[in-house]
Amino acid sequence: MFRFLLAILLATWLPQAFGQVSAPSYCGNGNSPGFHEIEVEGARREYLLHIPDELPEVSAVIINFHGFGDCANAYVDSVGRASSLNSLADQAGFVVAYPQAMVRQKGDPYWEPGDNGNNIEVNDVLFTRHLVEDIASKVSIDPSRVFAVGYSNGGMMAYDLACVASDLFPAVGIMSGVMLADTCASSDATSIIHFHGIADYVIPLDGSGEYPSVLENIEFWRDHNDIPAESLVSTSLEFGDVTRDFYAGGRENTAVALYVINREYGKQGGHVWFTDPIDGLTPNQILWQFLSAASQETSPPQRALQPEVQWLLLRNTDEPNDAASEAN
């Protein structure tokens, strides 16, 4: 009996102890339009891809990371369709990818910041790099206009990519998220736009015992991008319902913007993907305008996935570096 109970204990404890992950098959993403699967050395990941009927010769790409416990198809329904991000993509001519997180130790699908290991099921940063590569095999994309955005836990992932994959993303956008780390692995400058509710009780604007302050995140990126503190322009929008802090003039033309949503649809701004127009523009439109305006001159990256996709990881240059040439 003891051995039987021990076997049960080990069976339930070992996956959590050693960080095993699994795909949330219950999501049913495979039945959704735009479903794609990536396989690398036997490891598999899923994502949904929205491609407008009409695109420019080369198009921008937004990688949009869902929140804790969510499924990519449900996120497409809520953010892509109900919140009209896909409609904006159709109008403006950019592609949107909705990747699926893995079920991890907490028992739900969520994103794990950190560039660790060579298994795309475990390493979400590596998965993201392969994701962009896979999209590029289907659509002609502009490597200087690949952006990461995310909601809640997905915003944590977007912030992480700004640090550990800055060679790939010139700008990132966050809805109701937070940056967990207080340091950045890369010295590259990255433009940041962040929307946050004044009454977000899941990830409080001023921080909590579990999460740092969003205001500290913004100050971190202002300093990281070498943006002068005196460049700050604070503006009250939508009759005081929204406050915008905007910093500009950083290295590589970077900017940092924080939209604090004081009230939305007559209620205090909470933990949501915001949709109420702000002085005539929806948050999606503001997000897209900021991302599409972001420009950054970067040096060649320190690493790449495969020699044949080196071009994808070299923003604003047509020539591979010496290492890439030798690999080819």
- Residue 307 inside a domain? The answer is no
- Residue 320 inside a domain? The answer is no
Q: How far apart are CA 271 and CA 175, in angstroms?
A: 8
The burial class, CB within 10 Å (0-12 / 13-18 / 19+), for 72 is: buried
Candidates 222, 223, 205; CA nearest to 214 is 205
Q: What is the CATH number of the domain that holds 88?
A: 3.40.50.1820
Question: What is the residue range of 113's domain?
Answer: 20-299
The burial class, CB within 10 Å (0-12 / 13-18 / 19+), for 202 is: middle
- Residue 5 inside a domain? The answer is no
- Residue 7 inside a domain? The answer is no
- Residue 324 inside a domain? The answer is no
**What pLDDT sits at residue 118?**
93
Q: Mark the ranges of the chain whose per-residue pLDDT is less than 50.
A: 1-18, 296-328
How confident is the model over 191-206, as pLDDT tens digits? 999 999 999 999 999 9
- Residue 313 inside a domain? The answer is no
**What pLDDT sits at residue 115?**
87
- Residue 305 inside a domain? The answer is no
Q: How many CB atoms lie within 10 A of CB 308?
A: 12
Q: How many domains does one find in the chain? A: 1
How confident is the model over 136-192, as pLDDT tens digits? 999 999 999 999 999 999 999 999 999 999 999 999 999 999 999 989 988 999 999
**What pLDDT sits at residue 311?**
39
- Residue 246 inside a domain? The answer is yes
**What pLDDT sits at residue 295?**
54
